[in-house]
Amino acid sequence: MQDIKIAQTELFEHDDQEDLLGEVQRHPVGIYTRVAGAVFILTLLSGFAFILTRASLSGDPLTAVNPELSLTNYVPWVVVLLGVLIAIGTAISIYVYRNNYLVLTDQKLVFVRMNSLFSRSISQLSIGDVQDATIEQHGVLSRVLDFGTIKIETAGEMDNFSFHYAKDPVYTAKCIVDAHEENLKLYGN
C-alpha cells in the first residue's frame, strides 16, 4: 500500500495511537478512458465541422446574398469553443476520479468519494465490522494491468462498500483481512 499524505488524513478522524497502514488509489486506466472519450468526441466534432465548412464553400445560398453570413466564418469558432469546454470537462472528470481513495488504519477503513467537483462523501467503517473483502477483476485488461473492484462486506445491517478501479486489489484485500484479524486478536469480537 502507498504512504498516506498528511493532507488526506485531515479528512477523517483518527487518534495518535491509530496506525495508518496505507492508502489505495484508483488505477490510471480510468484516466485513459476519459481522455480517449474526449479525443473521440473532438474527432467527431472536427469531422462534422470539416463537412459543414466544405458544404458551405460549395454552394451556400446565403453566401451569394451576404458573404458575411457564410458558415465558414463561424464553424471554427464553435469548434474551438466546444473543444475548450470538452477539455475543461475532461480535466474536471480526471480530478474527481483521482480524488477517490481508500485509507486503511489498524482500527478502521475510510472511503473518500468525490462524486463531483463540489460533492464529497467520507465513510468510516470500523475494521472490526469487516466480514469479508472480495475482489472482482473482469476481463484480460484488469488482470494484466492489475486493477479491480474491492467489495467490503460488513456485519449486521450496515451497507457494504465497493471501491472500483482499485490498484493491486489482491494485495489490498489481503491487507484489509490481515488488519481485521489483528484487530480480532487484540479486541475480540
Segments making up each domain of the chain, as ranges? 6-26+100-184, 33-95
- For domain 6-26+100-184, say whether CATH 2.30.29.30 is its number: yes
One digit per residue, pLDDT tens: the chain, 189 residues? 554 454 456 667 767 778 888 889 999 999 999 999 999 999 998 888 787 777 655 555 544 445 555 556 677 788 889 999 999 999 999 999 999 999 998 888 989 899 999 999 988 888 888 888 999 999 999 999 999 999 998 876 667 888 999 999 999 999 999 999 998 888 876
Q: Which residues is 153 bridged to in the sheet?
A: 132
Number of H-type helices and E-type strands within the chain: 6, 7
Amino acid 123: pLDDT = 86
Amino acid 51: pLDDT = 79
Looking only at the bridges linking them, the beta strands covering 108-116 and 130-136 are unpaired
